[in-house]
Amino acid sequence: SRNALHEAAKLVTSFSKVETAKVFRLVREQKKWVWQTGFEIKCLKGKRIGSGSFRDCFEIAISDFGRLPNGRYVIKTWNDKAAETLQNDFEIPKKHEDVLQELSRRAVQCQNVACGLATEFKNAVNDKKEFGTFLRAYIIEYDNTNCTLEERIDGVYTKYINNNMILLNAQSEYGPKCSALAHFSYNFSERKLILSDLQGSEEVLTDPEIASFYRYDTDNKGSLLYGIGNYGNESLDNFKVEHECSKYCMLAGLVPL
């Protein structure tokens, strides 16, 4: 109801009018990733709370948590630089709406792959409390455009590893954890890909990229695999040079590269 929306809006600030949006989930069915039919929600978009190279992040309050986990949410919209980069590197239609949809699909796919790898990482270590997880992400059709929806992260937002696989917070507890997770993803994939651009707040991570040994999909007109942050072998080679194994690598049974 509208009252429920405004009650939710008390958690955040500077909201505009109530809108109807459609949410799409990517799920695993019979060993395949499948996009489910979208469902409608009522929402209130709030102020911008952050910006990155390709996206802007806004607060959003939603009315119905029946098919989504309870919590506070954000939407991440794409800027012109992202669309231009995708059009240059991906073999997709040039219509602006198609570009934004493809960007959102790839971002959600990367986040789902990261969720799976983080789960495998937890299973590989002795003390599962030592490691966090990735938020689930969804596509949302909002205000005649495609963007992504996810739960809001509380606390200080920090980037631990960038797209070039440089560890940015080596002195913190979570930087080496993220580096170990990247190491695990490299081994688990038989050295075909690595999680990069790892960021979030302490144990909760979001918005990763994936760098792959095969950067382009030869079965799909040579389009770039994964997201626009796929730096390919540049990231893989940098990680081999930059990475120093920590106790978290040893917990997962990893050996030095």
* φ and ψ of 73, to 5 deg: -125, 160
Please tell me the distance from the alpha carbon of residue 130 to that of residue 127, in angstroms, as a whole number: 6
Give the β-pairing of 145-151 and 73-78: antiparallel
What are the respective helix, strand and coil percentages of the chain, to the nearest 5? 30, 30, 35
Please tell me the distance from the alpha carbon of residue 177 to that of residue 160, in angstroms, as a whole number: 9
Residue with tokens 């992202």: 82
Considering the entire predicted model, what is its pTM? Answer: 0.85
Ordered by where they begin, the domains of the chain are 19-252 (3.30.200.20)
Q: What is the tens place of the pLDDT at every residue in 165-224? A: 999 988 888 999 999 999 999 999 999 999 999 999 988 999 999 999 887 766 655 567
pLDDT at 251 over 70: yes
pLDDT at 13 over 50: no
DSSP state of 167: B
Q: What is the tens place of the pLDDT at every residue in 21-61? A: 899 999 888 778 888 889 988 888 888 998 888 899 998 88
Mean pLDDT of 142-156: 88
Please tell me the distance from the alpha carbon of residue 123 to that of residue 131, in angstroms, as a whole number: 10
Alpha helix stretches (DSSP H) within 131-212: 174-188
Mean pLDDT of 94-98: 63
pLDDT value at residue 221: 55
Structure tokens at 93: 């239609």
> Picking from 104-118, 137-151, 208-222, 240-254, which range would have the lowest pLDDT averaged per residue?
208-222
Mean pLDDT of 98-110: 86
Please tell me the distance from the alpha carbon of residue 250 to that of residue 159, in angstroms, as a whole number: 23
Please tell me the distance from the alpha carbon of residue 5 to that of residue 208, in angstroms, as a whole number: 30
